[in-house]
């Protein structure tokens, strides 16, 4: 009889938690890196005018400091996921973290715009690796019965990084200057690098992608990049959404080829397509609501930037407080019922935000946002655990990449769709109704999702023949 003990490494070199000691330091690393990777998606937005002035370029050119990071982060997720399933996890974590920090430093000292854009593009590529690795690292750093708590760490801290980015960027901009917007991530990366180097067992090596993988990456990158550009441009002019149609051919070609078939096959065989839909619609609802509420308070109600920032901060604060609770409840009662309960609470909160009008005080808005934050906190970790626990042992990075892609597309789609709804109707409530509808869709999708857990090496025993 061959027995695989819980403390061993499994396919791909990913450490697995054991009864002798769960690696909570690695879970903390996954949360810290998820935070900084998501922080970088929004923190630079507030500094674009200062970057344009400092580097003597136009506002349109400065915008590439944001796009050059966001495009590779999202476009490379799927190719990176398949690549990571066949390489050592420890060298991948160390290389991606060090590369991310180095590119932050290079961005901060950029003497001209081309330098900055190149550094940000490289940082986006390292960021894509981090996005895929973080849930996988958290999943396998603890025993199965603690995975809800472990998964709640990156699942909570990642979105917190996204929503706190503008506030953190504004503070740095006012007191230290635009270059510190890039340097702020380094104090997170260096300790994470040290801990990962000491705590992760040595496993395989990195290897260069083969020719087939490079071709797949080009197809996916082309399709996703065009889609993201269309959504970004549509925030200023809705007709740009039509550009998204040109993303269909390369993505369809990839899906029908040898690169895409294994990915879709894994999702179908594990019953996770519905769960991915829930992740996508939840992210759309969250991002659309956050965008519309902040814009309404500033533009329509004339609320100060400080008051607006404090008001919308109610959502991430409540989410951060509820996240650990969601993980504990998932470990005790199961991931699915807790995830569904969190989705129901989030949908209810977004429904009561729809009547938003000028008569509401910031407190009236804040308590509704806090209710939604509690729901998202309860939902995030359990949903992530539900997805990752159903992944085959040799495809955890692939599944991690697909769920991260669903979430990232939701964060991008939300503001674009809300802007289109607002522009067509002339009312902020249309954007909020769209956000609430998306959040409501997540409930039946989560309830229906299959999420059939796959036996893992630490849970299986090979019988005698």
Among 92-106, 142-156, 411-425, the range with the most confident prediction by mean pLDDT is 92-106
CA atoms within 13 A on the CB side of 1: 6
Model confidence at 131: pLDDT above 80: yes
pLDDT (mean) for 420-441: 85
Model confidence at 20: pLDDT above 60: no
Model confidence at 15: pLDDT above 50: no
pLDDT (mean) for 426-442: 88
What pLDDT, in 10s, does the model give residues 199-236?
777 776 767 776 777 777 788 778 877 877 776 666 66
| Sequence-ordered strand ranges (E) for 129-251 | none
**pLDDT band at 345, cuts 50/70/90?**
very high
**pLDDT band at 99, cuts 50/70/90?**
very high
Model confidence at 334: pLDDT above 80: yes
On whether the 269-456 domain is CATH 2.40.30.40, my answer is no
How far apart, in Å, are the Cα atoms of 162 and each of 45, 156, 239? Answer: 11, 10, 27
- Least Cα distance to 293 among 281, 280, 311, 306 occurs for 311
**Average pLDDT of the residues of the chain:** 78
CA atoms of 175 and 240, how far apart (whole Å): 37
- Count the neighbouring beta carbons within 10 Å of the beta carbon of residue 224: 26
> CATH for 19-208?
1.20.1250.20
pLDDT of residue 349: 92
pLDDT of residue 204: 66
pLDDT (mean) for 68-77: 81
**pLDDT band at 324, cuts 50/70/90?**
confident
pLDDT of residue 236: 63
pLDDT of residue 174: 73
Model confidence at 261: pLDDT above 80: no
- Least Cα distance to 292 among 165, 389, 166, 419 occurs for 419
What pLDDT, in 10s, does the model give residues 365-414?
889 889 988 998 898 888 888 887 777 776 777 787 888 888 888 887 78
pTM of the model as a whole:
0.75
What pLDDT, in 10s, does the model give residues 48-64?
778 888 888 887 777 78
Q: Which residue has the higher pLDDT, 413 or 459?
A: 413
pLDDT of residue 458: 40
Model confidence at 455: pLDDT above 60: no
Q: List the domain boundaries for the chain.
A: 19-208, 210-258, 269-456
- The token pair at 206 is 């990195």
- The token pair at 145 is 């019965």
pLDDT of residue 21: 58
Domains 19-208 and 269-456 share a fold: yes
pLDDT (mean) for 310-339: 85
């Amino acid at each position: 009889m061959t027995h695989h003990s819980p403390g061993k490494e499994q396919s791909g070199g990913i450490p697995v938690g054991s009864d002798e000691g769960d690696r909570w330091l690695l879970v903390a690393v996954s949360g810290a890196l998820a935070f900084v990777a998501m922080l970088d998606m929004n923190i630079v937005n507030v500094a674009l005018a200062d970057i344009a002035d400092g580097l003597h370029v136009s506002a349109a050119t400065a915008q590439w400091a944001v796009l050059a990071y966001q495009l590779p982060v999202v476009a490379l997720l799927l190719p990176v996921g398949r690549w990571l399933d066949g390489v050592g996890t420890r060298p991948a974590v160390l290389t991606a973290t060090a590369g991310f920090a180095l590119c932050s430093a290079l961005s901060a000292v950029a003497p001209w715009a081309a330098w900055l854009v190149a550094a940000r593009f490289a940082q986006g590529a390292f960021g894509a690796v981090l996005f895929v690795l973080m849930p996988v690292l958290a999943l396998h750093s603890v025993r199965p019965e603690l995975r809800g708590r472990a998964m709640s760490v990156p699942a909570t801290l990642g979105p917190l990084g996204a929503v706190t980015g503008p506030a953190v960027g504004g503070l740095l901009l006012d007191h230290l200057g635009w270059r510190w917007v890039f340097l702020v991530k380094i104090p997170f990366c260096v300790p994470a690098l040290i801990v990962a180097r000491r705590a992760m067992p040595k496993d395989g090596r990195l290897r260069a992608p083969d020719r087939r993988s490079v071709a797949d990456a080009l197809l996916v990158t082309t399709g996703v990049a065009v889609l993201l550009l269309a959504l970004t441009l549509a925030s200023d002019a809705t007709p740009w959404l039509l550009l998204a149609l040109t993303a269909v051919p390369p993505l369809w070609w990839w899906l029908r080829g040898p690169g895409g078939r294994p990915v879709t096959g894994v999702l179908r065989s594990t019953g996770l397509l519905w769960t991915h839909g829930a992740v996508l619609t939840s992210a759309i609802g969250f991002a659309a609501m956050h965008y519309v509420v902040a814009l309404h308070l500033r533009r329509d109600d004339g609320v100060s930037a400080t008051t607006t920032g404090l008001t919308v901060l109610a959502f991430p604060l409540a989410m951060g407080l509820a996240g650990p609770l969601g993980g504990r409840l998932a470990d005790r009662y199961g991931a699915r019922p807790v995830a569904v309960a969190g989705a129901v609470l989030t949908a209810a909160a977004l429904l009561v935000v729809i009547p938003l009008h000028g008569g509401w005080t910031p407190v009236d808005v804040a308590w509704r946002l806090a209710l939604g934050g509690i729901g998202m906190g309860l939902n995030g970790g359990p949903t992530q655990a539900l997805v990752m626990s159903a992944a085959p042992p040799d495809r955890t990075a692939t599944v991690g990449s697909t769920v991260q892609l669903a979430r990232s597309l939701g964060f991008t789609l939300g503001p674009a769709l809300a802007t289109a709804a607002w522009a067509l109707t002339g009312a902020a409530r249309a954007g909020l109704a769209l956000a609430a509808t998306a959040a409501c869709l997540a409930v039946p999708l989560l309830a229906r999702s299959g999420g059939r857990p796959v036996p893992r090496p630490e849970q299986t025993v090979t019988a005698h023949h």
